[in-house]
A and B are shown apart, each in its own frame.
Chain A
Amino acid sequence: MDSVVLLRPVPDPVEELELNDDGSDLDRDYLGYVLNEFDDHALEEAILLKEASGGTVTVLGLGSADEMEQILYTALAKGADEAIKLGDEIEHLSVTSQAEVFAAALEGRSYDLVLTGVQAADELDGQLSVRVAALLAIPHISVVVGADAGDDSVNVTKEFWGGITADYEVQTPAVLGIQAARQAPRYVAVSLIRQAQQEGNLSETDVDPPDDSSGVRLVAVRVPESGEGAEMIEGDEEAAAAKIIEIIRGAGV
């Protein structure tokens, strides 16, 4: 089963996140990026599928983040066969545009599955996999927590609320939005990443940043304000603990 995995870098919260001057976005000049955690799970699931039933894994990495090459070499070291960096000129895109760029890159390629993270730290709506499937006009299923390759279909487990899961059979080609791989993303030794780097098996495809067609425009971003309901408890541990007990007792718990 041949898989394509869509990888997005997201702002690294180890850095202090700051807003730009007009408050319309994060100040991206000083941001570091890491691979979206859910996309890392999508990659793991794709490699598990390849290990179980053969086929290939191709990774598409979006955008110009300095960290993108490292992310793609890491994917190659983990077992991906091909890595493509999309849009070296592209900085930050809305999810609508992200989907258009990925769908365009998939055009004319042969694949059985497209996997990506169900959501991203900066895209909690979980729109990417849905939109890519719509643009490609192929089946889609999201919140997937495990996949198993059949002949011309894939059996997937989808997670619902309250610990309920359901098993689906999905015709391929299809798009999967991965909630979690069957196992935690594997460790790949630094020496193997460096080896992949030396082999340099990375290609780039130029992409023109598309105009955002969603009709939705980000107007302002704000730092959360501390609400009035919060009571800050001062003092050392003992004093604070005593105060907390007093509050709990007072609330009649």
Chain B
Amino acid sequence: MSKGVSPKVDPANVLEKEELVLEGMDISGHWNRMFEQRTIFDYDIAQLDRVTELDGGESMGWCYQCAQCIAVCPVDHVGSYGPRKIYRNLQVGFDLFTDPDLWLCTTCINCLRVCPKEVDMMEIMPAVRKEAVLAGNVPAELQDVFEKTARYGNPLGKNAKRRAAWTRGLDVEVPVISDVERKVDVLWWVSDYPSYHPRGIDASKALARVLTHLGVDFAILGAEEKHDGDSMLRAGENGLFEMLAEQNIEALNQYEFDVLLTTDPHAYNAFLHEYPERGGEYNVVHYTQYLAERITELGLSEQVDLSITFHDPCYLGRHNGEYEAPRDLIAALPGAQFTEMWRNRENGYCCGGGGGGMWLDGIAAENQSMRLSEKRVLEAVETGADTLCVVCPYEVSRFEDAVKSTNNDGALQVLDIAELLAQALGLPTD
């Protein structure tokens, strides 16, 4: 633009020249360069090309180094990481396919939220990891989990036949749908940690009691349920995901139910975005959403004298936009006080368990100053709350370990919202 043009530009008057040589200099390009990639020729960008040539890796090349992602990347807060840094490293010959950096991203997508160029690590990282997995370049700890999940249908390597063992001797009935032999209103997708991990089982028992208290007609799949596969897909084991999805869809499609109720936000995410195109279309609801719609019917009566703060799971919040349901439930607990952590909702800090991070503790320990779960627990303690409420089964064990490792044992307890609701209903809590 020449001098004399009004600072308030009327778009109708902008003369757009896609190709222009001015005083011998080629300045061709879209008038607003922000929307177009400007190729840099000063480097051998072969490593960057390897990423952008992948299905899903394209947007890595759109980065223009503004570094907004770095400010919100949970891994950068405990190390040196983030999409901008990965892009810069790729420009100068960094091999992402074999570097530990490949495994640090938790797919929390806070970077995508703030990225003006829509560089999508949710697509990029799984695409590169998929190639690494096919080449056999998998961290040993993750390899072990892949193998266990393929063999037993759960990442803990537990006996598949014992998936419903937690219901034995419970004071309420948790029927297995193959025994029920009729349509049920709610099929509860329990998931792995709530089926096998001691603290996950505590939350499952609480939820079973709450559902029974509500008079919900529900059943579980029992031994026919396998890991939902979502985290395996984000960790690059696409074949494992496909196998699990096929098996789960085959199991689910034998039965009739109105609502598929998930405990795990990762399963919720898979059922919403991955299973439908594979023949698994269900009316899927996260348990916090299901219960938040029934707060009045719940009739919460007992005092819960706790000061509570809440951690947003990435796969419920940022990925799927549900921030209110868990908060509505906490607000309904009689007598409970609620304080937000300073990073909440859209800017919630990741627990470190997503994208395979649940099983990459060694990689995290070697490359970060602390675990993301420890950082988050310190934030929770800062609020002065005595209870950290969670609604994702990856988190109870992660945060309880972090409470201990940050020397906050006794200062903060970690409870699933189902456990808090059971308390507020005067139901057994063992």
B78 an interface residue at 8 Å Cβ cutoff? no
Bound complex: CA of A13 vs CA of B198, how far in Å?
21
Bound complex: CA of A187 vs CA of B148, how far in Å?
12
Q: Give the chain A neighbours of B242 by CB distance below 8 A.
A: 190-191
A15 an interface residue at 8 Å Cβ cutoff? yes
- A190→B243 contact, CB < 8 A: yes
Which of these, A184, A186, A190, contacts B240 with CB under 8 Å?
A190
- B134→A184 contact, CB < 8 A: no
Give the B interface residue count (CB, 8 A): 21
CB distance from B217 to the nearest CB of A (A): 33
A194 an interface residue at 8 Å Cβ cutoff? yes
- B239→A190 contact, CB < 8 A: yes
A124 an interface residue at 8 Å Cβ cutoff? no
* Cβ proximity bits A3-22 to B, threshold 8 Å, 1 near / 0 not: 00000000000111000000
User: Which of A186, A191, A192, A194: most chain B Cβ within 10 A?
Assistant: A191
Q: Which residues of B contact A (CB under 8 A)?
A: 133-134, 136, 138, 140, 143, 146-147, 150-152, 157-159, 161, 237-240, 242-243
CB distance from B235 to the nearest CB of A (A): 11
Summarize B's interface: helix, strand, loop or mixed.
Answer: helix
Bound complex: CA of A177 vs CA of B392, how far in Å?
47
In the A-B complex, the 9 residue pairs with the closest CB atoms: A191-B239, A190-B239, A190-B240, A187-B143, A186-B136, A187-B138, A189-B133, A187-B136, A189-B134
Give the A interface residue count (CB, 8 A): 14
- A190→B159 contact, CB < 8 A: no
User: Which of A14, A187, A191: most chain B Cβ within 10 A?
Assistant: A187
Which of these, B134, B138, B147, B158, contacts A191 with CB under 8 Å?
B134
- B146→A191 contact, CB < 8 A: no
A57 an interface residue at 8 Å Cβ cutoff? no
Q: Which of A171-215 contact B (CB under 8 A)?
A: 184, 186-194
Bound complex: CA of A188 vs CA of B136, how far in Å?
6
User: Which of A14, A192, A193: most chain B Cβ within 10 A?
Assistant: A14
Bound complex: CA of A194 vs CA of B157, how far in Å?
21
Q: Closest B-chain residue to A185, C-beta based?
A: B143
Q: Give the chain B neighbours of A106 by CB distance below 8 A.
A: none
Bound complex: CA of A188 vs CA of B243, how far in Å?
14
- A190→B237 contact, CB < 8 A: yes
CB distance from A124 to the nearest CB of B (A): 23
* Cβ proximity bits A146-167 to B, threshold 8 Å, 1 near / 0 not: 0000000000000000000000
- B240→A14 contact, CB < 8 A: no
- A187→B159 contact, CB < 8 A: no
A136 an interface residue at 8 Å Cβ cutoff? no
A-B contact pairs, 26 of them (CB 8 A): A14-B152, A14-B158, A14-B159, A15-B159, A15-B161, A34-B151, A184-B140, A187-B133, A187-B146, A188-B136, A189-B133, A189-B136, A189-B238, A190-B150, A190-B239, A190-B240, A190-B242, A190-B243, A191-B134, A191-B239, A191-B242, A192-B134, A192-B239, A193-B239, A194-B239, A194-B243
CB distance from B206 to the nearest CB of A (A): 23
- A189→B237 contact, CB < 8 A: yes
Bound complex: CA of A191 vs CA of B240, how far in Å?
7
Q: Give the chain A neighbours of B243 by CB distance below 8 A.
A: 190, 194
CB distance from A89 to the nearest CB of B (A): 25
- A14→B157 contact, CB < 8 A: yes
Q: Give the chain A neighbours of B143 by CB distance below 8 A.
A: 187
Bound complex: CA of A188 vs CA of B237, how far in Å?
10
Q: Closest A-chain residue to B244, C-beta based?
A: A190
Q: Give the chain B neighbours of A184 by CB distance below 8 A.
A: 140
Q: Give the chain A neighbours of B158 by CB distance below 8 A.
A: 14
CB distance from A35 to the nearest CB of B (A): 10
Q: Closest B-chain residue to A195, C-beta based?
A: B239
Q: Give the chain A neighbours of B146 by CB distance below 8 A.
A: 187, 190
- B140→A191 contact, CB < 8 A: no
CB distance from A62 to the nearest CB of B (A): 20
Bound complex: CA of A222 vs CA of B83, how far in Å?
58
Contacts A189-B237, A189-B240 known; list 4 others, CB within 8 Å. Answer: A188-B136, A190-B239, A191-B242, A192-B239
Bound complex: CA of A123 vs CA of B162, how far in Å?
28
Q: Give the chain B neighbours of A16 by CB distance below 8 A.
A: 159
Bound complex: CA of A189 vs CA of B140, how far in Å?
14
Q: Closest B-chain residue to A194, C-beta based?
A: B239
Bound complex: CA of A34 vs CA of B243, how far in Å?
19
Q: Give the chain B neighbours of A34 by CB distance below 8 A.
A: 151
CB distance from B264 to the nearest CB of A (A): 21
Q: Give the chain A neighbours of B138 by CB distance below 8 A.
A: 187
Q: Give the chain A neighbours of B238 by CB distance below 8 A.
A: 189, 191
Bound complex: CA of A34 vs CA of B152, how far in Å?
11
Bound complex: CA of A34 vs CA of B159, how far in Å?
13
Bound complex: CA of A9 vs CA of B240, how far in Å?
22
Q: Give the chain B neighbours of A186 by CB distance below 8 A.
A: 136
CB distance from A108 to the nearest CB of B (A): 34
CB distance from B250 to the nearest CB of A (A): 15
CB distance from A183 to the nearest CB of B (A): 10
CB distance from B230 to the nearest CB of A (A): 15
Bound complex: CA of A48 vs CA of B301, how far in Å?
66
Q: Give the chain B neighbours of A14 by CB distance below 8 A.
A: 152, 157-159
Q: Give the chain B neighbours of A191 by CB distance below 8 A.
A: 134, 238-239, 242
Q: Closest A-chain residue to B243, C-beta based?
A: A190
Q: Give the chain A neighbours of B239 by CB distance below 8 A.
A: 189-194
Q: Give the chain B neighbours of A188 by CB distance below 8 A.
A: 136
CB distance from B193 to the nearest CB of A (A): 17
Bound complex: CA of A196 vs CA of B357, how far in Å?
29
Bound complex: CA of A15 vs CA of B143, how far in Å?
21
Q: Closest A-chain residue to B138, C-beta based?
A: A187
